[in-house]
Amino acid sequence: MIERRHALLSPTPGTSRELLSLHYGPPGTGRKVAIQASLHADEVPGLLVAHHLRSRLGELEAQGSLQGEIVLVPFANPVGLSQWVLGSHEGRFDLASGENFNRLYADLAPRAAEILEPRVRGGADVGVADARAALLQACAELTVTTELQCLRRTLLGLAIDAEVVLDLHCDNEAVLHLYTLPALWPEVEPLARLTGSRAVLVADLSGDEPFDEACSAVWQRLSAALSERAGCKIEFPAACVGVTVELRGERDVTHEFARADAEAILQYLAWRGFIAGAPQRLPDLLCEATPLAGSIPVLAPQGGVLVHARPLGSVVKRGEVVAEIVDPLGGHAMPLASPTDGVLYARESRRFVTAGTRVCKVAGREAVRSGKLLSD
Ligand SMILES: [Zn+2]
């Protein structure tokens, strides 16, 4: 294993942070996986999964079982990890800018297309390896002026040339679920089986450039940008399987969960040929892929005490009561109904909410939302 430390741009004199990446397996095979934990720094389950992955990857490497490079970033956000305000951890938004740590990753396709264009015009064959090199160059050229921008460039530089990118997150309270591109579902389905996912939410464009899409959707964009520049049809395959893995809820931090999740990830990598010994048989699939645009939040129309009415993972019908808001002033309880048929896969963890809070989310089959599909 090779350990690399990446110094982040220092925001003020006398302060500095660094990102750690652990590199297992043989580099330079053209095959690479990137796994990162807790980009939203207050989403802790991924940190524990990375802890278990670390020791297992060490064992597998010692046995000579790794057949490609596996990069593990055991804490993806040292900036967010340090943001403690009056006793509370604020790990989702950068306090200096207000920006979400998992948004605004650069679209590297235009610059990579510019780098590749002369070779295409010169009649050379341009393949996935060339494109990965161009994407790495485009990433390295990004200008950064803040610590946050430097963090984003560093993370993207570790993952943009990977064939599999797993970004480990969690929700408030949730069953395990995944986000990915619709076209990648056949590639992601074994991961859904191995992790026991209860929902898979797919979208071509979630909005605001989350990390997994910056790594996966870039391939389609690069094909389009290079075709336009070179004046001929260039079509790269979907060369990166990017997935955001939501490891249940923020308090689901146990060795049992983390060990099992780490093992599921390793089994998936074995299925993809990164580790010797693929699983004989994949477990049953517990859900289908549904559009992210069909995941409907239930909003609190008024503030009050939140009482959930259905357990996580419930299959609910439209109109079925999923929660109540109890108004301590008026003394009445307002029932909240599911807006769609689907799986109740995530819900608010606080028990007092203000008007407009998303109290839970139901994954339905029908795409009814548009615009930015992710919550802030
Ligand atoms: Zn997150």
Sorted by sequence, the CB contacts under 8 Å of residue 224 that are 6+ apart come out as 109
Q: What is the Å distance from ligand 1's center to 298 Cα?
A: 19
Tell if the pTM clears 0.75, that is, is over it.
Answer: yes
* CA 270/CA 95 separation, integer angstroms: 39
Q: What is the Å distance from ligand 1's center to 53 Cα?
A: 19
- Helix extents (H) in the chain: 45-62, 78-81, 109-121, 128-140, 147-159, 185-195, 211-216, 218-230, 255-271
Q: What is the Å distance from ligand 1's center to 61 Cα?
A: 29
Q: What is the Å distance from ligand 1's center to 328 Cα?
A: 32
Q: Is 44 helix (H, G, I), strand (E, B) or coil?
A: coil
Burial profile 179-193: b = 16 or more Cβ within 10 angstroms, e = fewer: bbbeebeebbbbbbb
Place of tokens 């002026």: 145
Q: What is the DSSP string of 281-312?
A: SPPPP---EEEGGGEEEEEPSS-EEEEE-S-T
pLDDT per position in the chain (376 positions), as tens?
999 999 999 999 999 999 999 999 999 899 999 999 999 999 999 999 999 999 999 999 999 999 999 999 999 999 999 999 999 999 999 999 999 999 999 999 999 999 999 999 999 999 999 999 999 999 999 999 999 999 999 999 999 999 999 999 999 999 999 999 999 999 999 999 999 999 999 999 999 999 999 999 999 999 999 999 999 999 999 999 999 999 999 999 999 999 999 999 999 999 999 999 987 899 999 999 999 999 999 999 999 999 999 999 999 999 999 999 999 999 999 999 999 999 999 999 999 999 999 999 999 999 999 989 988 8
Q: What is the Å distance from ligand 1's center to 270 Cα?
A: 26
Q: What pLDDT, on a 0 to 100 scale, did the predictor assign at position 375?
A: 84
Backbone angles phi, psi at 46, to 5 degrees: -65, -30
Q: What is the Å distance from ligand 1's center to 229 Cα?
A: 36
Q: What is the Å distance from ligand 1's center to 230 Cα?
A: 38
Q: What is the Å distance from ligand 1's center to 245 Cα?
A: 9
Contacts 24+ apart (CB under 8 A), 252-255: 252/45, 252/170, 253/44, 253/45, 253/48, 254/48, 255/48, 255/52
Q: What is the Å distance from ligand 1's center to 13 Cα?
A: 30
